[in-house]
């Protein structure tokens, strides 16, 4: 690729005076063509050749993401897509919400500090004041906040350290299908084996329990019976002196598993888990990094069950589209020594400003309540689609967080009627969705679950368009 330099054109070219014009005027060189810079294809090829093999979304999309507004993005060739990825749920307000951008611009021009480690600033005060108004029950009166490094995995790491410190215990429990991050400690809690197998050594004393995955119940029961047996299993494991598992420092759980395949835990199961852990004096940590912040139709996904955990992990949407991660925890566990968990960018002032603005938008536009209503519409349309598409095995979700599990319709069903997961079909459908203007991601067992995480600002018209594009992609890949 050749880079050309172009001189700016003058405002006007004067006509030469005949009396002062020399007999011979040299012909000017040909004007250089304007420099348009590298093409989108050249940009993509350059970055791909230099980026690590760990890239995922970029490879699946295969284009340069050029711009976006609300629930729509466009690539470098001008093609527009409905964005049901939203940076893995980070962009709760969609792309470039005007109120958030206005607040950030005003802050950048105000002369206030750009970064502050963990020093106190007006931006931190404004953010915390707004955040604590959104904590349910008694949590606003009893919870402390640890500002972490600006990724959700660091909130997980902070919680592991805090509860091991506060309890003096070493064992940590998580669940099948869990996703808590990709750093060493958080990966140890994560269920996905593909990410774990290449790593020679992860944090020890981590054990995984069955999660209430109704479509593929780990006990082969499903429904209320599966929930009861699952809770009985957990209680017996924690009280059996011969279980081989020492009393844990904490139990980590998602009220709605995201990367695990968009699996909502039944409210009665969460209530039972909270009762067991409280009675046995075991801290319960709710990972709300993806499911929180209004995504499921309540401010926090655990609110549907009416429980109060001992800690909450928060990131993604909390920063209004900018990097921020928090650990919220009951003050009785505040065993930190100064500097026990630090990080240079835990004082990300821009994210604090954007996060406070985003909370205002959530309230002013009623987006949490609207997410519940729009979720009913989206879920209804997906279930109607499932009636005509035998490759759809299960539809599940809450609010604006939905999963479509694809199966082999000709495969043998198990005792509960679930057919084999079809990850290959999901990959093909995901690619076909791009051709129909829909950007989404897949996950779950065998990568067979198509995941919809649109911005909370998506319109009803756009929701209909999302399902229409998905239907076309399914037909293409039948």
**In the predicted model, what is the mean pLDDT of residues 449-461?**
98
**Other CB atoms within 10 A of residue 170 CB:** 14
Q: What's phi and psi for 37, nearest 5 deg? A: 75, 180
**Predicted confidence (pLDDT) at residue 29 exceeds the cutoff of 90:** no
DSSP letters spanning 245-310: -PPEEEEEE-SEESTTTSEEPPHHHHHHHHHHHHHTT--EEEE-TTTTTTTTSSSSGGGGGT---S
Query: Which residues, in sequence order, are CB contacts of 435 under 8 Å at separation 6+?
Result: 473, 476
Q: How many helices (H) and strands (E) does the chain have?
A: 15, 17
Query: Residue 451 in contact with residue 262, Cβ under 8 Å?
Result: yes
DSSP 31: P
Q: What is the mean pLDDT of residues 282-301?
A: 98
Residue in the structure block whose two tokens are 């004041």: 129
Q: What is the mean pLDDT of the chain?
A: 92
What does the pLDDT read at residue 22? 35
How far apart are the C-alpha atoms of 261 and 406, rounded to whole Å?
11
What mean pLDDT do residues 400-418 have? 96
Stronger pLDDT, 143 or 346, i.e. the higher one? 143
Report the distance separating Cα 103 and Cα 358, nearest Å: 10
Confidence at residue 347, expressed as pLDDT on a 0 to 100 scale: 80
Other CB atoms within a 10 A radius of the CB of residue 58 amount to 14
pLDDT score at 26: 39
Report pLDDT for 36.
75
**How many CA atoms does the CB half-sphere of 156 hold within 13 Å?**
28
Among all chains, which residue has been given the structure tokens 């821009």? 350
- What pTM was computed for the model? 0.91
Asked whether 307 and 274 are in contact (CB, 8 A), the reply is yes
**If you ran DSSP here, which 8-state letter would residue 387 be given?**
T
Cβ atoms of 249 and 170 closer than 8 Å: yes
CA dihedral 102, 103, 108, 111 (to 10 degrees): 130
């Amino acid at each position: 690729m050749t880079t050309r330099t172009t001189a700016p054109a003058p405002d006007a070219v004067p006509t030469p005076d005949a009396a002062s014009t020399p007999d011979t005027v040299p012909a000017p060189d040909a004007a250089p063509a304007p420099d348009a810079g590298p093409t989108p294809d050249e940009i993509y090829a350059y970055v791909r050749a230099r980026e690590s093999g760990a890239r995922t979304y970029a490879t699946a999309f295969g284009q340069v993401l050029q711009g976006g507004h609300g629930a729509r993005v466009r690539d470098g060739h001008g093609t527009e897509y409905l964005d049901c990825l939203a940076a893995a749920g980070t962009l709760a307000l969609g792309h470039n919400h005007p109120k958030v951008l206005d607040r950030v611009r005003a802050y950048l021009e105000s002369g206030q500090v750009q970064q502050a480690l963990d020093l106190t600033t007006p931006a931190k005060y404004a953010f915390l004041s707004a955040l604590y108004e959104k904590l349910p029950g008694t949590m606003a009166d009893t919870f402390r906040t640890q500002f972490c490094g600006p990724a959700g995995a660091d909130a997980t790491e902070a919680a592991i350290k805090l509860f091991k410190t506060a309890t003096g215990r070493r064992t940590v429990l998580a669940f099948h299908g869990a996703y808590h991050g990709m750093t060493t400690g958080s990966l140890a809690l994560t269920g996905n084996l593909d990410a774990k197998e290449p790593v020679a050594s992860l944090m020890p004393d981590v054990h995984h329990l069955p999660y209430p995955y109704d479509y593929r119940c780990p006990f082969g029961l499903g429904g209320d019976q599966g929930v009861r047996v699952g809770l009985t299993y957990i209680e017996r494991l924690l009280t059996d002196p011969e279980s081989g598992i020492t009393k844990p420092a904490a139990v980590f759980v998602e009220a709605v598993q995201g990367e695990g395949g968009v699996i909502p835990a039944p409210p009665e199961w969460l209530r039972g888990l909270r009762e067991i852990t409280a009675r046995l004096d075991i801290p319960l940590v709710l990972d709300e990094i993806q499911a929180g912040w209004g995504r499921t139709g309540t401010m926090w996904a655990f609110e549907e069950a009416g429980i109060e955990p001992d800690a909450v992990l928060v990131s993604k949407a909390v920063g209004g589209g900018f990097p921020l991660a928090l650990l919220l925890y009951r003050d009785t566990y505040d065993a930190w020594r100064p500097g026990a968990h630090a990080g240079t960018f835990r004082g990300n002032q821009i994210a604090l400003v954007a996060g406070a603005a985003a909370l205002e938008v959530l309230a002013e536009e009623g987006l949490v309540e609207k997410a519940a209503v729009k979720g009913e519409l989206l879920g209804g349309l997906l279930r109607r689609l499932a009636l005509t598409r035998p490759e759809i095995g299960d539809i599940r979700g809450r609010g604006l967080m939905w999963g479509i599990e694809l199966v082999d319709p000709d495969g043998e069903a198990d005792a509960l009627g679930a057919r084999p997961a079809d990850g290959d079909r999901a990959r093909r459908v995901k690619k076909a969705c791009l051709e129909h203007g829909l950007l989404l991601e897949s996950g779950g067992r065998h990568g067979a679950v198509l995941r919809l995480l649109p911005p909370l600002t998506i319109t009803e018209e756009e929701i209909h368009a999302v399902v229409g594009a998905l239907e076309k992609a399914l037909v293409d890949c039948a």
